[in-house]
Structure 1
Amino acid sequence: MENILLENEEIRFHNGFPSLVRFFKGDSQKPLVVFFPGWAHLGRISYGFVGCDEKHFLAYWLVKKGYSFLATSYPIDHPVYSDVYPGFTLTDWGKMASEIVDQFISENRLKKGVIGINWSASGQIIRPFNVACKSLGINVRFNLSIEASPALLMPPEYNLDIKKTKRNMVSLEDTYYPFFWKGLQEQSQINEKKIISKRDYLSHFVGDIPIGLMGTNEFFEDGDFAVNIEKSFEDKDFFAFNEYPLVTNISGNSSLSPYHPIVDKYTWGFLTTRKIYHDYFVQSQKSGFEISEHKLKELVRYVNTVPDRLSKVVSGNHFLFVGKKGARNVANHLEKFDFEVERIKADISGILS
């Protein structure tokens, strides 16, 4: 594959790291939607490649709804990048992405309100991205997790079958590429049409990744992979509840990827209810609001409905947003979540007033 960018793609450097990006302009009065890819993937998985049917990809349907759309990538070992960055961390990713978003908002005169779409392993950067955005005056309205989990704190002995490359990156070619490709084949069957050829997929979409994004406790330090528990706690900071935005989630119903429909609703539900408690109830107490028994019962009943209201299980697998049916479905759900999140915020504020 030649070292070239596809039409309308750019490499933007921020926080010392490069990101492959592509921007689609929508209604400047609507929030900017920002896409984050999972393990080994470029942001192209959200908008496609030359010669593809753009209707098989998420960007098309969100722009059709009027949203501006920004596909971002992190630096993987792929010809679009001139170098590798094995020391790249979740914190680096969040800061880099926030600066890119800030620049695109300024360049296109958009509102400083964004919606994040986090697929797969990029669920790990929902918190650091939100923190970095706040420092720039950007409001993350909510994040949509697609088959994604947060940066969970793992036991010290936790490890994956990691293959280190000569360029100090992690190769998933033997361990995860077969799973990825099987998922895309199944999405093609659901849509009754081939979405991507295997050759195009391997050429245009995937590459080796930095160890710090693998979800283990390992980092690239002093020329090698090394376990650093203290750094892992700091980079993930899972329990910093008030640093998350509200998170909605969509999981697939395929037996190819059973983990996410089993755990995601209440993993994110746990963080979301803690977020609501800290941001709304605790803050109202600090402002002198004294809650009555009646109001408390009303609040408890309401908050207990939130995880169900912000979660959906849909047809598809780990790539449920790829293919016309899934891409359009996710865009529809995002639009509904956009209204639902604002309603939840207003309702809780009303209860606590």
Structure 2
Amino acid sequence: MKRWHRLLQTVVLLVGAILSHASVAALFAGEQIETDAGFPTLTKFIPGDPGRPLVVFVPGAHHNARIAYGGHTGSHDDDFVAYWLVREGYNFLGVSYPLTTHNPVITDTYPNYDARDWGKQVAAAARRAIDEHHLTRKIIVIGWSMGGRSAEPIAEAAKEQGLDLEFFTSFSATPGIMGLVDMNANFPMTASGYADRSNIYPMFMKQIALENAMNGHTIIDTTSYLNDYVGDMPVNLEGYGLHYRDGRFVRDNWADEEEFRVYAYDKLPYIAALMPNEPLDARHALTDQANWGFVMTNKIQATIEASKVDLSAMPRARWLALIDLVRSAPQRLSIEMNGDHFFFIGAAGAHETARAIQTLDDRVAGFKSQLQELVPLKATPN
């Protein structure tokens, strides 16, 4: 009997080892799964200059952060923006929210996960990377596509973590403003309570095909993309007013407002934007500067208002200079990129994107300095 008991223990250990190996095998080189803010987090850190900021990449709908660093069989590091950001001296951290990919990485599902959880998870992962690698507490956050909705949640959570969020950059992203997407949309729900939007994958693959053509080679093959880069996700992040409650999707637009909180302009970080110029991503090409310009200028106005400066007592020339500065923000703090929704993949686009981040870094710093000269703010603007 004891012999059979030992044999059973051995079998259990072997099965556990196999399952553990399978889980590890699903990870790309350099990836880790940690627990941040109570949720499993797929991350990849790449060191740069420890004195430079940590650039944190937040992916869009139904994608993980691999879209910024690659790693599938046959991929090339220099086809992804992480490689070039590190070449510019930045440290890089890709942070993926819970997502079910065909090749499993995070096996459990979290249908109640929302934007407040998202912000806390990203900020906690950033703080962990900073502490582990002895970096400064300065971070720059990139929000791609749906990732734009994370701006305010991350900003609040970053402050709680003691991080200095220098600015948030949109990559073809949508801010958390109600009505910028179809608020009557409905998505199928998986058995685990996640949103299934696999019907939009062909649209994404068409845009990746354009980037492949622009770069003269395959950046991400279709099989790798469908198996390792995309999957079902918590519906609460989507921004279409749908929320998971009691085993079903319900429409609650106000819940979107409360979770994304883009209206909390005084808590938003400074905003910058990189915008596509291809018709395959027409909505972002045509509207991103206006959408993010609205957020930018209201954030700046809230910062000025918080300073309690009596603008009516300001010399006329200074007041007019302030008007010019604030009105210039949408153009000054945005850059047009060559490409579509995936303009930052492929060596040419990835390199151009990393240089654009450095340019925006300089522009945001210059803008803050000019604002400080015109309006004696009580604290350095964030």
TM-score class, shorter = over 0.9
Map of 1:273 onto structure 2: 297
Please state how far the C-alpha of 1:226 moved relative to its aligned partner: 1.5
SS at match of 2:307: helix
Structure ranking higher in helix proportion: 2
Q: Between Structure 1 and Structure 2, how many residues are aligned?
A: 351
Map of 2:8 onto structure 1: none
Map of 1:195 onto structure 2: 219
Map of 1:42 onto structure 2: 64
Map of 1:68 onto structure 2: 91
Map of 1:299 onto structure 2: 322
Please state how far the C-alpha of 1:261 moved relative to its aligned partner: 1.6
SS at match of 1:13: strand
Query: Deviation digits for residues 226-279 of structure 1, max 9, x if unmatched?
Result: 223442221122211111111111111111110012111121111111111221
Map of 1:55 onto structure 2: 78
Rounded to whole Å, the distance in 1 between the matches of 2:144 and 2:34 is: 21
Map of 1:327 onto structure 2: 350
- Structure 1 residue 183 and structure 2 residue 202: aligned? no
Rounded to whole Å, the distance in 2 between the matches of 1:317 and 1:152 is: 22
Rounded to whole Å, the distance in 2 between the matches of 1:309 and 1:157 is: 30
- Structure 1 residue 86 and structure 2 residue 108: aligned? no
Amino acid at match of 2:42: L
Rounded to whole Å, the distance in 1 between the matches of 2:309 and 2:314 is: 8
Query: Deviation digits for residues 173-219 of structure 1, max 9, x if unmatched?
Result: 12x10011001000001111111110111111111011101112221
- Structure 1 residue 130 and structure 2 residue 152: aligned? no
Amino acid at match of 2:105: V
Taking only aligned residues, the RMSD between alpha carbons, in angstroms, comes to: 1.9
Please state how far the C-alpha of 1:156 moved relative to its aligned partner: 12
Map of 2:184 onto structure 1: 159
Rounded to whole Å, the distance in 2 between the matches of 1:205 and 1:214 is: 17
SS at match of 1:83: coil
| Contact 1:119–1:147 under 8 Å retained in 2 | yes
Please state how far the C-alpha of 1:99 moved relative to its aligned partner: 0.8
Map 1:238-257 onto structure 2 (within 5 A): 238-257=262-281
Query: Deviation digits for residues 116-138 of structure 1, max 9, x if unmatched?
Result: 11110000001110011011211
Structure 1 unaligned residues grouped into runs of 5+: none
SS at match of 1:163: coil
Rounded to whole Å, the distance in 2 between the matches of 1:71 and 1:238 is: 23
Map of 1:216 onto structure 2: 240
Rounded to whole Å, the distance in 1 between the matches of 2:343 and 2:261 is: 29
| Contact 2:293–2:329 under 8 Å retained in 1 | yes
Rounded to whole Å, the distance in 2 between the matches of 1:31 and 1:118 is: 16
| Contact 1:127–1:243 under 8 Å retained in 2 | yes
TM-score (norm 1): 0.95
Rounded to whole Å, the distance in 2 between the matches of 1:168 and 1:266 is: 35
Please state how far the C-alpha of 1:157 moved relative to its aligned partner: 8.8
Please state how far the C-alpha of 1:280 moved relative to its aligned partner: 2.9
SS at match of 1:95: helix
Rounded to whole Å, the distance in 2 between the matches of 1:171 and 1:352 is: 48
Of the candidates 319, 344, 347, which is equivalent to residue 367 of structure 2?
Answer: 344
SS at match of 1:70: strand
Rounded to whole Å, the distance in 2 between the matches of 1:234 and 1:331 is: 33
Amino acid at match of 1:345: K
Rounded to whole Å, the distance in 1 between the matches of 2:305 and 2:196 is: 45
Structure 2 unaligned residues grouped into runs of 5+: 1-21, 377-382
Please state how far the C-alpha of 1:347 moved relative to its aligned partner: 0.7
Rg comparison, structure with higher value: 2
| Contact 1:281–1:352 under 8 Å retained in 2 | no
Amino acid at match of 1:346: S
The percentage of aligned residue pairs carrying the same residue is: 32
Map of 2:39 onto structure 1: 17
| Contact 2:309–2:375 under 8 Å retained in 1 | no
TM-score (norm 2): 0.88
Of the candidates 119, 125, 132, which is equivalent to residue 144 of structure 2?
Answer: 119
